[in-house]
Amino acid sequence: MKQKINNNKIKAILIDSGKVLNGPITGHWFITPNFFSYVDENIFKAIDTKQRNAAFNKASDYISKQSLIITEEEEFLHFYEYYKIFSSELPELKLKDNQIRAIAEDLVYNYSKYQFYKDSIEVIPELSKKYKLAIVSDAWPSLENVFKRVGMREYFSSFIISSIKGITKPNELMYKAAIEELEILPEEAIFIDDSIKNCDGAAKLGIKSVLMCRDLKSYLYNRLTCKSHRVIRDFNEFKRILS
């Protein structure tokens, strides 16, 4: 049964970042903006898709096991290892160490790597005038500078990053960290995420949760099948829920 939202009680909105507020400018989280300045694009695309995906997955196995990454310098060192693994899985690319380092630097220090959705840029400033806002994201330290680059960081009173906390959603401490910093009760918050599992985690604490599905197919499917959370396509639809 879907949670009922009493708008009069809501004081804060907790928001995931990836696939909710923004997405990778290249369409792939680990293909950096300048990836093909260091990787031969023709050779890369000639490699079987399954083999390419397997290389990304092998590298992702490594990065997912690094639970505590506090600084951008640490983030770079871990992603240097990430792309070393990726490179070793795709020897056809013949990547040299300086190229691997450059890709890792592009992943961490290029704050243009994510593009904010138009409705995010338009609606977040408006929401911040009435509600306290928090980021609650499974991400790495550089995310904060991504927000600063486009002038979005100023709208968020709390910025909870999983790698800095050493835990990921749906661990209850991720949500608790935000509501404690915002000085509110769980029932005074709404949480927005693109993962049902993460929405469930917030709901267990008494936080009303909303599932955002920007992909039309996913949106239509979850509108029909998701029984526990309201399902929205974008922040304009979220505004209508609040009003």
**DSSP assignment of 109-168:** H-TTSEEE-HHHHHHHHHHHTTSEEEEEES--TTHHHHHHHTT-GGG-SEEEEHHHHT--
Q: What is the mean pLDDT of the chain?
A: 96
Closest CA to 193 of 139, 140, 129: 139
pLDDT recorded at residue 8: 76
Closest CA to 152 of 123, 131, 130: 123
Instruction: In whole angstroms, give the CA distance from residue 22 to residue 7.
Output: 25
For residues 12 and 56, state if they share a domain: no
Answer yes or no: is 30 within a domain: no
The contacts of residue 83 (CB under 8 Å, 6+ apart) are: 59, 95, 100, 103, 104, 107
Q: Which domain holds residue 146?
A: 7-23+114-242
pLDDT recorded at residue 243: 84
For residues 86 and 200, state if they share a domain: no
- What confidence tens digit (pLDDT) does each residue in 34-69 have? 999 999 999 999 999 999 999 999 999 999 999 899
pLDDT recorded at residue 67: 87
For residues 41 and 148, state if they share a domain: no
Q: Between the CA of residue 50 and those of 57, 64, 95, what are the distances in Å?
A: 10, 20, 20
Answer yes or no: is 1 within a domain: no
pLDDT recorded at residue 197: 98
Answer yes or no: is 29 within a domain: no
Answer yes or no: is 142 within a domain: yes
Of 109, 132, 150, the residue that ends a domain is 109
pLDDT band for 2, please (50, 70, 90 cuts): low
pLDDT band for 3, please (50, 70, 90 cuts): low
For residues 101 and 120, state if they share a domain: no
Mean pLDDT of 198-226: 97
Within 13 A of 243's CA, how many CA atoms are on the CB side? 8
Mean pLDDT of 70-74: 98
Share of the chain above pLDDT 90, in %: 95
Closest CA to 168 of 240, 237, 68: 68
Mean pLDDT of 179-200: 98
> Which pair of structure tokens corresponds to residue 165?
């906390």
Instruction: In whole angstroms, give the CA distance from residue 112 to residue 80.
Output: 19
Of 79, 109, 139, the residue that ends a domain is 109
> Which pair of structure tokens corresponds to residue 25?
């400018």
Mean pLDDT of 148-159: 98
pLDDT recorded at residue 6: 66
